[in-house]
A and B are shown apart, each in its own frame.
Chain A
Amino acid sequence: MTAVTDRQKLQYIAAKAADSRVNVELETEGMILNMGPQHPATHGTLRIVAKLDGEQVVAAEPIAGYMHRGYEKLTEVRTYPQITALVNRIDWLGSFANEVPFILASEQLMGIEAPPRAQWIRTLLFEMSRVANLILFLGDMGVQLGAVTPAFFAFRDREFVLDQIEAVTGGRFHPNFDRIGGLKDDLPKGWLVETKNVMNKVRSFCDEIEGLLMNAEIFATRTRGIGVIPADVAMQYGLSGANARASGIDWDLRRDAPFGFVYPELDWKVWTHPDGDSFARFWVRLQEVRESTKMIDQICDGVPGGPIMAKVPRIIKVPAGEAYVSTENPLGEMGFYVVSKGELAPFRVKIRSASFNNVSITPWLLRGVYVPDIITILASLYFILGDIDR
């Protein structure tokens, strides 16, 4: 693994800057372009300060923190059951997925395991929030590249998935459904059949996106070779999820650490792409949505009967100790490090969210690209501002 030192970085910047000035007699001043905090490409309040030479980016720096909501501190003054309502606002597009790692960490501390039916349904909802989340990415990538139509298809078909999530949990965006020891409620009648219909719609949406966007030549010219992340650099910056898999790192916590889930019992595949460019990141996520729909179909067929809640005391006091559980969330690895002193509220919770690491690579990635590529790269890295700032 070769480390990129600061010295190498500076050399790279200097070479790029010199390159772009080579035939210019009149040396012009660079321009600093401030993108955000209010900018349509940052879907939230990320600010990118880019030093430009013409249209070429010499250096770029992401500035986060405009949306900081202090969740890690807030969890210290909430009881364990209250915390799920907080943390599902971190990545607001895949909200159920945020609750799961926290609940799993708490369960680990308490030595409770959810009954099988709860584990199956948990996996099901976890995958459904992934589908709802990534569908929007597939459409949004089109918007960022100038094709508006895929976004409308994405919103249309995400609605079906959200309807299903709402039918179970009562919340479209913030389900607050996961409980220590199981789930709040059982599935409604007829829900599994309807879910399989929705998954068919999602699969046809994937085909639509593939035809409309991915197979379009302009899309390929805009994304292929843009924002290439080699595997070693991806590891150094702690990239996870589809961003890492698009760089050829065969690493998926659903397969490698399926604690609390039923992934080993399902027939599915981890997709990787060797290129590491924006196209690869789009491609991997598209395949992941398809893989998820397959998994959901299998879960719908295989979900066992039984209780959905383990024996849990009425007032939850977590015994002293510490636990770290991370899961493969839609955006990448999300981990909760929970430290308990045996009280009603955790002593300290450290949240490891995927987007923060995924965005931290931008200064390395945005050197030498053109201004439109900033948008391509940011869109393909796929971050949610709530997931960066927490």
Chain B
Amino acid sequence: MTQVVLHPMLGLELAYWQETIIRVLLGLVALLLLTGGVVYLYLFKFVSFMQSRLGPMEAGPYGSMQLLAEVGKWLQKEDIFTEDSDKFIFGIAPAVVLASTFLMFVVIPAGPNAVVADLGTGIYFVLAMSSLSVIGILMAGWASANKYALMGALRAGGQLIAYELPLVLAVIGVVISAGSLNLQDIVAAQSDGAIFGWTGIGNPYILTQIVGFTIFLIAVQAELTQTPFDMPIAESELVAGYQVEYTGIRFLVYFIAEFATAVAFAAIASTLFLGGWQLPGAWGISDGAMNAIGPIMISIKAVLLVGVVFWVRFSLPRFREDQLQKLAWKVLIPLALANIVVTGVMKVVF
């Protein structure tokens, strides 16, 4: 925490609060840029090509400014509060969801020093923060005074809590392998690792923890409430679930939160399983250079993983609520527990 991020490059001496502000602002910019990029790349273009259409083409070259136009449109719309809604709760619910998303980014490292807060229990913090969004969703569903919203929120509550378990259990395999809850240590353990003595690409945990990785991705799909696990917002049955009464900027906040969370989870997955920002330690790149290369590395990995999320989202139909719970409790959790046992045994053996 006392390291000064810009010192080696710019020769600046910064106070702790100045440094923190810079880190937060950089993090925020990176987060919004990534989110916008992901929305354009996948929601607008990738999906359009999947569905044999072009997607937005008018705003900017190849429609690249479409998102700005959309945001402008949302900002202009009337911010409607329904008559029976609990105005205060209804108003702050999107902020709660967005806050939980932003807090997840706090500990995700993008370089040796490029991290807002390097907590000792980083992964624990991330997973805890990710489950905060349930509260915001339940608030939204209840305060909307709408049956569809209420059903959507209750479904979301059940679903997010059920999938929190496989998510955490899948991560435990990595934690056992790395021997640390700190995300920087997990990254270092992967880059310094070796595959049977060969250090060319380090040892990303996707190789040894492929089961954990798969469970993690499935659980992430459910946590993000993306198809095939999108019953909370199921547009064909619940119209939009807990978002049904939201308009204008508050809907925009949900929209940003949805995609920012996708980026966050993808960044966590690439940190845990794909080696994070680090290039293999054996390549001998200096820390200063890694502070510049790292963010690019983790962005590429995260964006690719978000692509997987959207690929699945636009290929599959959705489960029913009870089938989803069955999948979590009867398949994923036992599998994750078995994975932990196997990982533990292997850790002792090797």
Contacts and interface: CB of A to CB of B under 8 A. Distances in A.
- Please determine whether chains A and B interact with each other in the same assembly: yes
Contact of B234 (A212, A213, A372): A372
Given A34-B147, A372-B231, A373-B320, 18 more contacts: A33-B151, A41-B236, A144-B237, A146-B228, A147-B227, A147-B316, A148-B314, A149-B51, A149-B315, A218-B228, A218-B316, A221-B323, A222-B317, A222-B320, A222-B323, A370-B321, A371-B237, A375-B237
A221 B239 CA distance: 22
Given A216-B316, A218-B319, A372-B321, A146 B51 contact: no
Q: Is the interface of A mostly helix, strand, loop or mixed?
A: helix
A156 interface: yes
Q: Is the interface of B mostly helix, strand, loop or mixed?
A: loop
B320 A147 contact: no
Interface of A: 31, 33-34, 39-41, 55, 142-149, 152-153, 156, 212-213, 216, 218-219, 221-222, 370-375
B317 A218 contact: yes
A216 B236 contact: no
Interface in B300-332: 314-323
Contacts of A145: 236, 317-318
Q: Which 5 A-B pairs have the closest CB atoms?
A: A146-B318, A152-B51, A145-B317, A147-B317, A375-B237
Contacts of B322: 370
Contact of B236 (A55, A146, A153, A221): A146
A222 B317 CA distance: 9
Contact of B235 (A40, A55, A153, A213): A40
A41 B319 contact: no
A362 B247 CA distance: 34
B293 to A, nearest CB: 36
B316 A153 contact: no
A7 to B, nearest CB: 30
A146 B319 CA distance: 8
Contacts of A222: 317-320, 323
Interface string B132-151: 00000000000000011001
Contacts of A153: 51-52
A40 B236 contact: yes
Nearest to A145: B317
Contacts of A152: 51-53
A380 to B, nearest CB: 13
B237 A41 contact: yes
Contacts of A218: 228, 316-319
B51 A148 contact: yes
B237 A372 contact: yes
